[in-house]
Amino acid sequence: MSKRVTVPEILGAKGNRKLSEVTAYDYPTALLADKSGIDMLLVGDSLAMVVLGHEDTLSVGMTEMLHHTLAVSRGASRAMVIGDMPFMSYQASVEQALINAGRFMKEARANAVKLEGGARIVPQVRAMVEAGIPVQGHIGLTPQSAAQLGGFKVQGKTAEAAKVLIEDAQALADAGCFSIVLEAIPSSIAEMVTEAVPVPTIGIGAGPGCDGQVLVVHDVLGLFDRFVPRFVKKYAKLDDLIVQALTKYREEVEQGVFPGPEHGFALSEQEAKKLGKS
Ligand code: KIV
């Protein structure tokens, strides 16, 4: 078993090597991603959309997130496992945020948590960091606030909005975040944010200037095409392979080709004789 990726290792990567992060929602995916040497596995609340079929990320709660995070934790022995705090698990109060973050660490064996928002969630981040819980920030397009942002839109497109993003990133870094996800912002702004903070920035739709990248695993593997943002690169097309395999299975069942003799269990000759079947 290789050594777990730690917070100091992530912090030390800035300026030295690029970091990789991908979402994972179950045990087999965690095993495979861990084998691939990915640094961080995010049990994202994108679970709601890509696994559970919801329209947005608002419908998952602590129960689902803890359940899936624990499965990923069981599968990952090297990658850092990050539990994504679901909508309304940290917004209402610092106390509730701290209790829920603690549940990710204690009950789901996460190594860190992620929460969306800039300066406005600094009190929550500080309380978690003081309690010894590593926190990954997330600014730019924050899907839990899509209603307020007017949809899933690129953020930071005006000079004013870009300044707010830089201030938010600095506030999160000052509060103790060990890394910050930058989602759907212009590449030049992501570079400015990256230069402005001492912790690694992890981009998704934020260009190559970030300190690392994160993608949704279903997008990377080509498993989900209901909505594919332009920043996604598909490294495989598993949806086609899966449909091919399942079609072949159905055909063989219908034709009586599967199961073959090699897939069955034989009765011993002696027992067969007793039944009059030799
Ligand atoms: O939930 C998620 O998958 C995320 C990533 C897109 C960063 O928050």
Is residue 253 located within the same domain as residue 189?
A: no
Q: Are residues 265 and 207 in the same domain?
A: no
173-223 confidence digits (pLDDT tens):
999 999 999 999 999 999 999 999 999 999 999 999 999 999 999 999 999
- Residue 96 CB neighbour total at 10 angstroms: 14
* Residue 24 to residue 76: CA distance in whole angstroms: 10
Mean pLDDT of the chain: 96
Q: Is residue 2 part of a domain?
A: no
- Same structural domain for residues 198 and 263? no
> Per the domain annotation, does 1 fall within a domain?
no
Q: Quick check: helix, strand or coil at residue 52?
A: coil
Residues 254-269 have a mean pLDDT of 96
The catalytic residue positions are: 183
pLDDT of residue 59: 93
Kindly state whether residues 245 and 160 are assigned to the same domain.
Answer: no
Q: Residue 98 belongs to what domain range?
A: 7-236
Proportion of the chain above pLDDT 90, given as a percent: 92
Same domain assignment for residues 224 and 253: no
Mean pLDDT of 91-97: 97
Confidence of residue 27 (pLDDT cuts 50, 70, 90): very high
3-state secondary structure 59-104: CCCHHHHHHHHHHHHHHCCCCEEEEECCCCCCCCCHHHHHHHHHHH
Q: Quick check: CB of 204 below 6 Å from ligand 1?
A: yes
Contacts of 238 (CB under 8 A, 6+ apart): 221, 222, 223
In the reported structure, the alpha carbon of residue 252 is separated from the centroid of ligand 1 by a whole-number distance in angstroms of 39
Residue 278 pLDDT greater than 70, yes or no? no
Residues 163 and 189 in one domain: yes
| Structural domains in the chain (count) | 2
Both 168 and 254 in a single domain? Answer: no
Ligand 1 neighbour 48 (Cβ under 6 A):
no
pLDDT interval class at 1 (50, 70, 90):
low
Whether residues 121 and 227 fall in one domain: yes
**Same domain for 175 and 50:** yes
* Domain identity same for 126 and 257: no
